[in-house]
Amino acid sequence: MNRTMTIAEMTLRETVRRRGVLVLLLVLPLAFYLGRRGDHLGQSIRFVCLGLAWVLSAAALFVGSAARSLEPRLRLSGYLTHQLFLGRLLALWTLGLALSAPYFLLIRFDQHHVRYGAIAVIMLLGVLVAPLLGLALSALLPRDLEGMLVLMTVVGLQMILDPAGNAARLLPFWFSREIGTYAIDHTSVGYLDRGLLHGAVTALLLLVLVAVGFGVRLRRRSHVRIVGGLS
């Protein structure tokens, strides 16, 4: 636990020292929010939730990529693979909560006649899923650019595809549209249930992907036998 917390602490320290990045992370969802606030208040909520998910995924992608050269050394120093990715996830989840809180407050005081609890659920699920998506991309793709292009494709499709269609359900943030409809348009609780289920399944699948991606990349090669050392 100490090792996982140390990774989380150092990841947070690294992230908060990138002040320019922090400002952009905070501002980008605001652009999403203000972009539709004038003509469609409900859409502005959906877009700000997607914006938060996008910036958190991007932050996770770059955190994962930046750590690539250091992680083999950390493995040799005694860290286990799951301690490395769980530590980074803890840091990113903390960052996600800190970024989402002001937007929840903004919606709370700027929007009326919406289900605030459901909006909080969208944000919490976004905070859970987005870092997993970014870290999975960083584990599976060797460079930032490839990961960023995939991420842009995912978020672009999320905005383009009809949320009622089956294809949209394969996208990682479909839950935000579904729960958003429940929160904004006051539809039946079935929307909330489907969204929750989708978010939970997506998070689980991405966690498995992260674990497998990190496990393969940081595996101890089969030709090495360590006697009396660290695993």
Partner 1 sequence: MRHEIWLAALTDELRRHGVGPDLAAHVVAEAAGHLRDSGEPPLRAFGPPSAYAAAVADSVGGPVTVAGSAPGPVRLRAVDIFKRYGRRTVLSGVSLTVHAGQVAAVVGANGSGKSTFLGICAGLVGADGGHVELHGTVGYCPQAGGTADFLLADEHFALIGAGRGVPRAAAVREGARRAAALDWVPGNAQARHLSGGTRQKLNLVLAGLGDPDVLLLDEPYQGFDRGTYLDFWHEVWRWRDAGRAVVVVTHLLNQLDRVDIVLDLSAGSTGVAA
Q: Report the C-alpha gap between 56 and 178 in whole angstroms.
A: 20
Q: How far is CA 39 from the centre of its chain?
A: 28
Report in angstroms how near the CB of residue 28 gets to partner 1 at its nearest. Answer: 21
- Cα separation of 120 and 49, whole Å? 10
- Nearest to 9, CA basis, from 87, 81, 66: 87
Token pair for residue 149?
A: 């292009």
Q: Which residue, 76 or 97, has its beta carbon nearer to partner 1?
A: 76
Whole-number minimum distance, CB 219 to partner 1, in Å? 9
We find the least distance from the C-beta atom of residue 130 to partner 1, in angstroms, to be 21
Q: C-beta of 224: minimal distance to partner 1 in Å?
A: 4
Residues that bind partner 1 (CB under 8 A): 2-3, 6-7, 10, 13-15, 17-18, 66-67, 69-70, 72-74, 76-79, 220-230
Burial class (CB in 10 A: 0-12, 13-18, 19+), 124: middle
Closer residue to partner 1, CB minimum distance, 21 or 196: 21
Residue nearer to partner 1 on the CB measure, 2 or 188: 2
Residue with Cβ nearer partner 1 (13 or 186): 13
CB of 32 to partner 1, least distance (A): 27
CA dihedral 129, 36, 33, 134 (to 10 degrees): 30
Based on the number of CB atoms within 10 Å of its own CB, is 222 exposed (0-12), middle (13-18) or buried (19 or more)? exposed
Q: Please, which residue, 69 or 166, has the CB nearer to partner 1?
A: 69
